[in-house]
Amino acid sequence: MMLIFVQVIIAYLLGSIPSAVWIGKVVYGIDVRQHGSGNAGATNVIRVLGYKAGIPVLLFDVFKGWLAVFITGFFPGQGMSPDQLIYIKIGAAVAAALGHVFPVFAGFRGGKGVGTMAGVGIALFPMPLLIVLGVFIAVLAVSRYVSLSSCIAASAFPFIVVFIGGERHPDLVVLSVFVAVFVLFTHRTNIMRLLKGEEKKFNFKGGGKK
């Protein structure tokens, strides 16, 4: 039990590393949460600071989600069943996502978790994640709304996991549903703005300081 607790805490702390906040403050001298959408995520970093800052933030957010799940395989697993090992990976995945949204290192004000959940998807559902990425890119290209693209891709995720990826483990299926619900929940204000026609479209040229 202690081993599980330690792994979940490590995953949460990894998820809590606020790359958007730290890069903004250390390199550019601003808190991105006080600009643009007020979100500590890659999209807002690109909007406020440009691609030079936003791409590293995105890559790191994906990496920390993947790493949080991946490192569970390095802890002693003697005496654990395959199902128990899956539970640990699921716990780490959820903890990393919560860490990103509620980071202990940034006053519990983080991002929306899409990048981190993508990293989790790479670790647990690599093929379905690639398909979901394609859905995201297609919707973004047509609509130019990152939030809409994230919500549609996340909503499609559990169906892709089950019907295309062929996942049959009930707990992993539940996790894929959690991903969809989690992303929709963190984008609830964006959804309201979309319904009101007030959501800002993504500027592919980037912006911010060079």
Q: pLDDT tens-digit profile of 34-73?
A: 998 899 999 999 999 999 999 999 999 999 999 999 998 8
Six-digit token pair at 49? Answer: 């600071």
Six-digit token pair at 164? Answer: 């295309």
Average pLDDT for residues 106-117, to the nearest whole number?
A: 95
Distance CA 34, CA 172 (A): 37
Which value, to the nearest 10 degrees, does the dihedral of the CA atoms of residues 15, 64, 13, 120 take?
60
pLDDT value, residue 210: 43
CB-based contacts of 83, cutoff 8 Å, min separation 6: 171
Average pLDDT for residues 147-153, to the nearest whole number?
A: 97
As a whole-number percent, the residues of the chain with pLDDT over 70 amount to 96
The least confident of 81-90, 142-151, 161-170 is: 81-90
Average pLDDT for residues 20-26, to the nearest whole number?
A: 96
Going by pLDDT thresholds of 50, 70 and 90, the confidence category of residue 79 is: low
Going by pLDDT thresholds of 50, 70 and 90, the confidence category of residue 141 is: very high
Angle between helices 146-159 and 188-196 (to 10 degrees): 120
Going by pLDDT thresholds of 50, 70 and 90, the confidence category of residue 76 is: low
Going by pLDDT thresholds of 50, 70 and 90, the confidence category of residue 208 is: low
pLDDT value, residue 80: 75
Model-level pTM?
0.91
Q: Which residue has the tokens 């592919």?
A: 204
Distance CA 190, CA 71 (A): 33
